[in-house]
Structure 1
Amino acid sequence: MHVLDASRVVGVVSDLLDGDRAQELDASNRTDQERLRDQYASKQRTALLTVEQARANRERVPFDELPVPDFTGVRVVEPDLNDLRAMIDWQFLFLAWELKGKYPAILDQPVARELFDDANTMLDQIIAEGSFQARGAYGYWSARSEGDDIVIDDPAAGPDGLRLPMLRQQTVKPEGRPNRSLADYVAPAGDHLGGFAVAVHGAEELAAVHEARQDDYRAIMVKALADRLAEAFAEYIHLEARRAWYEPDADPRIEDLHAERFRGIRPALGYPASPDHSQKQDLFDLLEAEKLGMGLTESFAMTPAASVSGLLFAHPASRYFTVGRIGRDQVEDYARRRNMKLSEIERWLRPNLAYEPE
């Protein structure tokens, strides 16, 4: 049996200890597992293009305008927590506690209202006592695309620059729909690429205080608030970056920010459009993230836990997408472009492989 989190263990164990309910649970679990097997198998049967065919069907966007940022290099940002608080998307606080409903309508539910009030009371105290600190940075570098690679020519990337290989969708698309890669949104010459990394520090220490008092509710709430502030920080710094690059007069409504109704994207490395987590190291090096108190684990998870990072694209046609399943030909090509062993690349891209590695 697999349960999503510890809070569901009690119900499952209770059913398993009852003879009749145990049989019902066993039957429903086997049905669910068979459904998941069929779902997985159907995905494996989805037709793929060769990587060259996919590249021939790349997204072709015009590069009539190549905005120039106000500066190149890295700028450190340490905003006031009250500024970040104003940009919090509270919807995800309720999702973290598995409460269903849309914010603010969900506040009509007594449990949700109590949770919201507790969160804000705790946030008041955190800000008053200075328990959290927000530190981040964003930057721009001269860049160009070369095939499916984004090449950073800026001296900050080293004497030979920095090559960021990108992956491309390989599934067969309906007529008129391209096989996308993030490299499609960078011009072959004269363009720029941005990047950012932000973190909220202090949550682990404060949560440990509550855990020592066996107050799990407050410990979990501390971490949830740090996550909300980190996401708000990403929104904050992205707005600053757009103003300094191609939207100097940007003054969006908070609803538009949360709905991502603005020009440009900030895809995170290791997520659907660029699923290789190991590329975070290049971004962290460019931003000198260690000086911000940020780090990466051996599996490239960010520390502290309340951290967000990603690339910044300015092109108005840029959009989020999922690379999805990729074939051995692209994986081999990607390993060559990354100058890494095939087996290592297969390990990082395991969820995306359309084949079983040797």
Structure 2
Amino acid sequence: GTRTFTAYDLGDLAKHIDWTPFFASWELIGRYPQILEDDVVGQAATDLFKDAQAMLAKIVEEKWFEARGVVGFWPANSDGDDVVVWTDETRTVELTRLHTLRQQMSKGEGGRANVALSDFIAPMGERDWIGGFAVTAGHGEPEIAKAFKDKGDDYSAILAAALADRLAEAFAEAMHRKVRTELWGYAPDELFDIEALIGEKYRGIRPAAGYPAQPDHTEKAELFRILDAPAQTGMALTESFAMNPPASVSGLYFGHPEAHYFGVGRIEKDQVEDYARRKGWDLATAERWLAPILNYERGK
């Protein structure tokens, strides 16, 4: 089933922030905290960091944003490159099917096998589970940004949006830890500091649709449906399957000890045809959604 979190503690999320991507979003490239001492961008990074810390303190104290999330866990089994999600432990009624894509690259002699996310779920007849999540720290951010813009302060508007993004990612990280240690509890004894968390040294992954391990953004629709995410969190999907508020993160939880992130890379027409069949699409629809990863020219 699912569990909802509303008005999640922003102060706790602030502690989980990964600052390296924050600087990258301002085109300041380097790892935090070393970037603050960098010969080239150090001063700019330090000034930005000071402004960010000051605004973050206000965000937390004055509750500028509201963080809401929902997580769910279901019995699941793999069926080829699909993951069958069951309504309950009897494993007789399908709640939904999640579709995954498989790498099709030549890795040479002795290379690793071509993987799909479905490989990290046990096949039919064995007991396994999958989790899903949708979290946002973006409720309130558009209003705050608009207030700054109306005052002619574009810098603060952009800073507020960047911090909302970081808090959403921090929420995903904090929630994943809660899942591993308590809610799913497959790693109850995990003891990691924030740095180790950010370095993803723990067991399990949380891949998001639209990212390299599953480049198809439309897979978010089923996840949102089974989580009841719009009602539980106020999050919504646009026609192009972007999330609203923009400072939002969603994805799946895999607890398999061998689960790892990977990129599907380029795929061939045979797989696109198979994927279209599994999704109930025509070929043109599949090619449209998978356009960035096709290894052939559409319509040929």
- Equivalence for 2:106: 172
The answer as to whether partners of 2:70 and 2:134 remain within 8 angstroms in 1 is: yes
Contact 1:265 1:313 in 2 (8 A): yes
Which amino acid in structure 2 is aligned with residue 95 of structure 1? Answer: A
Partner of residue 322, structure 1: 263
2:21 aligned residue: 92
Identity %: 53
How high is the TM-score relative to the length of structure 1?
A: 0.77
Contact 2:85 2:94 in 1 (8 A): no
Counterparts of 1:1-358 in structure 2, within 5 Å, are: 73-78=1-6, 79-108=8-37, 109-154=42-87, 160-176=94-110, 177-188=112-123, 189-200=126-137, 201-243=139-181, 244-245=183-184, 246-291=186-231, 292-358=233-299
State whether residues 143 and 154 of structure 1, in contact with CA within 8 Å, keep that contact through their aligned partners in structure 2.
Answer: no
Report the RMSD for the aligned CA atoms in angstroms: 1.6
| Counterpart residue identity of residue 127, structure 2 | G
2:84·2:94 contact (CA, 8 Å) conserved in 1? no
Larger radius of gyration: 1
How far the C-alpha of 1:351 sits from its partner, in A, is 0.7
Cα distance change on mapping 1:343 and 1:158 into 2, 3 Å: farther
Cα pair distance change 1:231/1:175, threshold 3 Å: same
CA deviation vs aligned residue, 1:279-308 (integer Å, no higher than 9, x gap): 100000111110211000000000000000
1:8-58 superposed Cα distances (whole Å, 9 cap, x missing partner): xxxxxxxxxxxxxxxxxxxxxxxxxxxxxxxxxxxxxxxxxxxxxxxxxxx
CA-to-aligned-CA distance 1:227-284 (integer Å, 9 cap, x gap): 1100000000100111132011223111111111110000001111111100100000
The question of whether the paired residues in 1 share the 8 Å contact of 2:64 and 2:144 is answered with yes
Cα distance in 1 between the residues matched to 2:247 and 2:224 = 16
Q: Structure 1 stretches (4+) deviating beyond 6 angstroms? A: none
Question: Does the CA contact (< 8 Å) of 1:231 and 1:308 recur in 2?
Answer: yes
Describe the SS at the equivalent of 1:179. Answer: coil
> Whole-Å Cα distance in 1 between the matches of residues 94 and 114 of structure 2?
30
Alignment partner of 2:114: what SS?
A: coil
In structure 1, C-alpha distance between the alignment counterparts of 2:75 and 2:176, rounded to whole Å: 18
3-state SS of 2:180 partner: helix
- Structure whose residues are more often helix by fraction: 1
Q: What SS class does the counterpart of residue 68 from structure 2 fall into?
A: strand
TM-score relative to the length of structure 2 = 0.92
How many angstroms apart in 1 are the aligned matches of 2:259 and 2:94?
A: 27
Q: Separation in 2 of the partners of 1:144 and 1:309?
A: 21
The gaps in structure 2 that reach 5 residues or longer are none
Q: For 1:187 and 1:218, how far apart are their aligned partners in 2?
A: 48
Looking at structure 2, the residues matched to 100 and 352 of structure 1 have their Cα atoms a distance apart, in angstroms, of: 27
Relative to structure 1, the CA distance from residue 160 to residue 89 in structure 2 (aligned partners, 3 Å threshold; closer, same or farther) is: closer
Structure 1: gaps of 5 or more residues: 1-72
How far apart are residue 325 of structure 1 and its match? 0.8
Between the aligned partners of 1:163 and 1:224, the Cα distance in structure 2 is 34
**1:162-195, CA deviations, whole angstroms, 9 ceiling, x for partnerless residues?**
1112111111122231010111110013110011
- Counterpart of 2:5, as a letter, is V
Secondary structure of the structure 2 residue equivalent to 1:199: strand
How far does residue 84 in structure 1 lie from its aligned partner after superposition? 0.2
Quote the Cα distance in structure 2 between the aligned partners of 1:151 and 1:278: 17
Query: Displacement, 1:110?
Result: 2.3
